[in-house]
């Protein structure tokens, strides 16, 4: 039985998303806050902040809200959600 890889690839990619963020810009606009300072204010490691900024890690909903609260901005000013293929 031969599988149609195109159909399988489409099904596999349906659930993928892209989450962009403005954390670096927000940090810069907030007296050039360091990753370490943001990490301390949100209760995570500097490496976690680095990974989120780099787009290598998506934060939990709770952490996303904590980050937004540090900058006193709405969540959508920090993170933008974009499904792939849209």
| pTM, full prediction | 0.77
The full set of domain ranges for the chain reads 5-83
Strands 17-21 and 79-83: antiparallel
Give domain 5-83's CATH number out of 3.30.497.10, 1.20.140.10, 1.10.260.40, 3.40.50.720: 1.10.260.40
| Position 75 confidence tier, pLDDT thresholds 50, 70, 90 | very high
Structure confidence at residue 10 (pLDDT):
54
The better pLDDT of the pair 7, 75 is held by 75
| pLDDT digit string, tens, across residues 2-45 | 555 555 455 445 455 588 999 999 999 999 999 999 999 999 99
CA separation, residue 31 to residues 9, 22, 48, 66 (Å): 45, 15, 21, 18
Structure confidence at residue 50 (pLDDT):
97
Neighbours of 37 (CB within 10 A): 16
């Amino acid at each position: 039985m031969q599988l149609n890889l195109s159909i399988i690839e489409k099904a596999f990619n349906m659930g993928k998303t892209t989450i962009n963020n403005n954390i670096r810009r927000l940090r810069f606009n907030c007296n050039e806050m360091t990753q370490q300072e943001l990490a301390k204010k949100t209760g995570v490691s500097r490496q976690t902040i680095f990974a989120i900024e780099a787009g290598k890690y998506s934060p939990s909903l709770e952490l996303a809200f904590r980050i937004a609260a540090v900058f006193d901005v709405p969540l959508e000013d920090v993170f933008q959600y974009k499904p792939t293929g849209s």
